[in-house]
Amino acid sequence: MNKKELEKLKNEVLKRELPKHIAITMDGNGRWAKKRFLPRTAGHREGVKTLRKIVEVCGDIGIKHLTVFAFSTENWKRPDGEVSYLLKLLREFLKKDLNTLHKNNVKINIWGNISEFDSGTREEIKKAIKKTEGNTKLQLNLALNYGGRSDIVKACKNISMKVKLGELDIEQINEDMFNSYLYSENQPEPELLIRTGGDYRLSNFLLYQSAYTELWFTDVYWPAFNEEIFYRAILDYYKVDRRFGDIQ
């Protein structure tokens, strides 16, 4: 697609009310690399480039919240070399891109339990959060050591603790307040979840938050995902009729 056609597609996207929050499962890095006879790590490295581009596009068109599944609680099962490479890429991203992200008014949030990461990685994460905490244009939520079930269990534990301490009455527990105990806190639920790489499942991503989310799947591997496909996902989202259980 040439520049002019891409611009046309972008204008189509901008004609309607954009989703406030888009979530992405960035899958297929390994298979992208394998197809090219490259090590899996090369796929992850290329995947960071796609992420960088999509963050830029979100800021440009005015998406307010972007949540990406960068490291799941299940990813620890991978060979040590791959895990440490993924964490190295994360540290590099947080170091190299921090000034640009900050300049572009992007606020970095982490969803997940980072206490299990090494101290070097935790330091880079803390720096990035601190530097960008006042930013308001785009909230970039990096789901790191994240699992949807553990997100819900964590919320239950914290709520139970408050009940036990007498700070909260059971009657006060409802869906909205429960939401505020999740990593997503008070950010809106994603209207659209994109999954690349050809699998059709949630894989423990945003279980509570995605109750009414439109799911959009593509066979394209994450490193090959691009601005054009991103716009097509949003245009498809516009076509669906969101009734939230109501009738039309």
User: Among all residues, which ones are annotated catalytic?
Assistant: 27, 75
Q: List, in sequence order, every beta strand (DSSP E) within 78-201.
A: 106-111, 138-146, 192-195
Number of residues that bind ligand FPP (CB under 6 A): 19
Q: Token digits for 91?
A: 């540290």
Query: Using a CB cutoff of 8 Å and minimum separation of 24, what contacts does 53-56 make?
Result: 53/226, 53/227, 54/24, 54/225, 54/227, 54/230, 55/101, 55/106, 55/138, 55/140, 56/104
Exposure string over 123-142, b if 16+ CB within 10 A, otherwise e: ebbeebbebbeebeebbbbb
C-alpha 90/C-alpha 114 separation (Å) is: 12
Whichever of 29 and 181 has its CB closer to ligand FPP, that residue is 29
Instruction: Identify the residue whose tokens are 């799911």.
Output: 215
Whichever of 30 and 112 has its CB closer to ligand FPP, that residue is 30
Instruction: Identify the residue whose tokens are 């259980």.
Output: 245
Instruction: Identify the residue whose tokens are 């516009």.
Output: 238
Shortest separation between residue 140's beta carbon and ligand FPP, angstroms: 9
Binding mask 209-238 for ligand FPP (x = CB under 6 A): -------------x----------------
3-class SS of residue 69: strand
Confirm or reject binding of residue 29 to ligand FPP (CB under 6 A).
yes
Contacting residue, 112, 147, 190, 197, with ligand FPP by CB under 6 A = 197
Contacting residue, 24, 58, 90, 110, with ligand FPP by CB under 6 A = 90
Whichever of 51 and 234 has its CB closer to ligand FPP, that residue is 51
Confirm or reject binding of residue 101 to ligand FPP (CB under 6 A).
no
Contacting residue, 13, 21, 23, 27, with ligand FPP by CB under 6 A = 27
Q: Both ends of the chain: CA-CA distance in Å?
A: 37
Binding mask 160-189 for ligand FPP (x = CB under 6 A): ------------------------------
Q: Where does this chain touch ligand FPP (CB under 6 A) — which range of 85-93, 108-116, 181-189, 236-244?
A: 85-93
Confirm or reject binding of residue 51 to ligand FPP (CB under 6 A).
yes
3-14 helix and 40-61 helix, angle to the nearest 10 degrees: 60
C-alpha 209/C-alpha 184 separation (Å) is: 8
Which residues ranging from 107 to 146 are in contact with ligand FPP (CB under 6 A)?
A: 142
Contact (Cβ atoms closer than 8 angstroms) between residue 192 and residue 234: yes
Shortest separation between residue 100's beta carbon and ligand FPP, angstroms: 14
Contacting residue, 19, 47, 59, 112, with ligand FPP by CB under 6 A = 47
Rounded to 5 degrees, what are φ and ψ at 22?
-120, 135
Residues that bind ligand FPP (CB under 6 A): 26-31, 44, 47-48, 51, 70, 75, 86, 89-90, 93, 142, 197, 222
